């Protein structure tokens, strides 16, 4: 599952980098203009002089690019060090829950993403049989996304896997979900914890969340049409559990807000249409444009993991089925 970036002040490292970059680019531009001034030489030397000055211009631009790269690297390191000075527990003790006044109530958002109007197909993100759509919602800088695909399995079988949260960890190599554990069940409501261990090369931080899911069966009286809707809970819902998670993943970021649903719709052919809807504010410093691209690009993987599982046999054990969360966090009691 996948925010509003945290802006630095005018005196931040990033702002300073922008000013320094502008200055150096201006200097490089002036040098290039001087390099290409008309040559005051006899005609037989013009061609040679032009070649030399062209090489000089390339050298100037290369040096400018190298200086900017070094500045960017230093700025990134400085920001990382500054962020690391804030204890992880303090950083994660202030996330917004779905009930925060900063976001609309989850019920309102779920109602909007379940409406058929307003969705726009994202052809570039659609792949491998998964169609991707996006929809802008009032009050959010990030759009909601919807993914759909048809699977050759019954809706009851597919839905049973969708709500078997303890099996979701390690379900797919493309979705680095390393912890998925049910913490509480009561009637048709389930509360569970999940953690995504982001690969180091992505420079992204690990994300984690406590969710409450509402399980609905035979929606609108349609046999086999089931849906599981979720919303993010406050990090304070399970303080002892979260403390143990932070001890093992000290740089983890708690997901500020996420709502969505998984829905299965039986087809006359005996196949099932799988529909995934989600609106997520991931937190951290992820720029808005990058969020849009990343969510739209990776969304198909969330659906394809279930196709891959049924292709190799739904009864086959998967990584994490025994639950790494038991080793990490111990008891699920708050």
User: Is residue 193 located within the same domain as residue 299?
Assistant: yes
User: Is residue 136 located within the same domain as residue 218?
Assistant: yes
Mean pLDDT confidence for 113-126: 88
Nearest to 154 by CA among 264, 311, 272: 272
User: Is residue 22 located within the same domain as residue 167?
Assistant: no
Q: Encode pLDDT of 236-247 as tens digits.
A: 999 999 999 999
Residue 2: inside a domain, yes or no? Answer: no
Residue 55: inside a domain, yes or no? Answer: yes
pLDDT at 217 over 80: yes
| pLDDT: which is higher, 313 or 187 | 187
Residue 108: inside a domain, yes or no? Answer: yes
Averaged pLDDT score across all residues of the chain: 74
User: Is residue 197 located within the same domain as residue 300?
Assistant: yes
Q: Encode pLDDT of 257-272 as tens digits.
A: 999 999 999 999 999 9
| pLDDT: which is higher, 204 or 154 | 154
| Token pair of 273 as six digits | 């249409």
The beta strand positions in the chain, using DSSP E, are: 120-121, 131-135, 144-151, 177-186, 189-196, 207-216, 226-232, 253-254, 257-266, 272-281
User: Is residue 136 located within the same domain as residue 60?
Assistant: no
pLDDT of residue 51: 62
Residue 186 CA to residue 310 CA, distance in Å, equals: 28
pLDDT of residue 324: 39
Determine contact, residues 252/209, Cβ cutoff 8 Å.
no
Rounded (5°) CA angle 201-207-212 = 155
DSSP 223-238: TT-EEEEEEEPPGGGS
Percent of the chain with pLDDT over 90: 40
DSSP 130: B
pLDDT at 329 over 80: no
CA dihedral 230, 235, 236, 242 (to 10 degrees): 120
Determine contact, residues 206/251, Cβ cutoff 8 Å.
yes
The CATH number linked to 208 is 3.30.530.20
pLDDT of residue 281: 84
User: Is residue 144 located within the same domain as residue 80?
Assistant: no
Residue 22 CA to residue 68 CA, distance in Å, equals: 10
Residue 5: inside a domain, yes or no? Answer: no
pLDDT of residue 33: 57
Rounded (5°) CA angle 171-326-308 = 5
Choose one of 57, 84, 111: the last residue of a domain: 84
Nearest to 170 by CA among 288, 319, 17: 319
Residue 231 zone, left/alpha/beta (φ > 0; ψ -120 to 50; rest):
beta
Choose one of 58, 84, 110: the last residue of a domain: 84
Sole residue written with tokens 């409406």: 115
Mean pLDDT confidence for 33-52: 57
Residue 192: inside a domain, yes or no? Answer: yes
CA dihedral 18, 21, 23, 25 (to 10 degrees): -140
User: Is residue 115 located within the same domain as residue 222?
Assistant: yes
Nearest to 72 by CA among 18, 27, 24: 18
Reported pTM:
0.64
Residue 261: inside a domain, yes or no? Answer: yes
User: Is residue 76 located within the same domain as residue 117?
Assistant: no
User: Is residue 51 located within the same domain as residue 139?
Assistant: no
pLDDT of residue 294: 57
| pLDDT: which is higher, 98 or 167 | 167
Choose one of 84, 109, 137: the last residue of a domain: 84
User: Is residue 58 located within the same domain as residue 125?
Assistant: no
User: Is residue 125 located within the same domain as residue 245?
Assistant: yes
Residue 140: inside a domain, yes or no? Answer: yes
Residue 299 CA to residue 304 CA, distance in Å, equals: 9
Residue 154: inside a domain, yes or no? Answer: yes
- Domain hosting 232: range is 88-329
User: Is residue 157 located within the same domain as residue 102?
Assistant: yes
Rounded (5°) CA angle 180-181-182 = 135
Give the number of domains in the chain: 2
């Amino acid at each position: 599952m996948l925010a509003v970036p945290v802006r630095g002040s005018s005196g931040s490292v990033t702002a300073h980098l922008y000013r320094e970059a502008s200055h150096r680019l201006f200097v490089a531009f002036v040098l290039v203009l001087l390099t290409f001034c008309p040559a005051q030489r006899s005609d037989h030397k013009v061609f040679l002089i032009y070649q030399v000055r062209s090489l000089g211009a390339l050298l100037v631009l290369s040096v400018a690019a190298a200086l900017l790269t070094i500045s960017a690297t230093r700025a990134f390191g400085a920001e990382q060090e500054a962020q690391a000075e804030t204890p992880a527990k303090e950083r994660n003790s202030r996330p917004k829950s779905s009930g925060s006044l900063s976001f609309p109530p989850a019920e309102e958002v779920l109602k909007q993403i379940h409406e058929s109007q307003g969705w726009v197909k994202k052809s570039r993100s659609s792949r491998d049989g998964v169609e991707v759509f996006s929809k802008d919602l009032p009050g959010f800088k990030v759009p909601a996304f919807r993914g759909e695909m048809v699977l050759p399995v019954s809706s009851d079988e597919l839905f049973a896997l969708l709500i078997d949260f303890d099996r979701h960890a390690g379900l797919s190599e493309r979705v680095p979900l390393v912890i998925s554990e049910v913490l509480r069940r009561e009637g048709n409501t389930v509360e569970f914890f999940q953690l995504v261990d982001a690969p180091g090369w992505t420079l992204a931080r690990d994300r984690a969340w406590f969710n409450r899911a509402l399980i609905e069966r035979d929606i609108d009286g349609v046999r086999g049409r089931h849906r599981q809707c979720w919303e993010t809970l406050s990090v304070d819902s399970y303080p002892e559990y979260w403390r143990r998670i932070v001890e093992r993943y000290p740089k983890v970021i708690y997901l500020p807000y996420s709502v969505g649903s998984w829905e299965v719709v039986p087809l006359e052919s005996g196949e099932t249409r799988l529909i995934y809807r989600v609106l997520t504010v991931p937190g951290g410093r992820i720029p808005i444009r990058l969020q849009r691209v990343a969510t739209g690009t990776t969304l198909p993987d969330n659906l394809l993991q279930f196709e891959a599982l049924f292709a190799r046999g739904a009864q086959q054990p998967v990584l994490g089925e025994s639950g790494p969360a038991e080793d990490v966090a111990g008891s699920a009691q708050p």
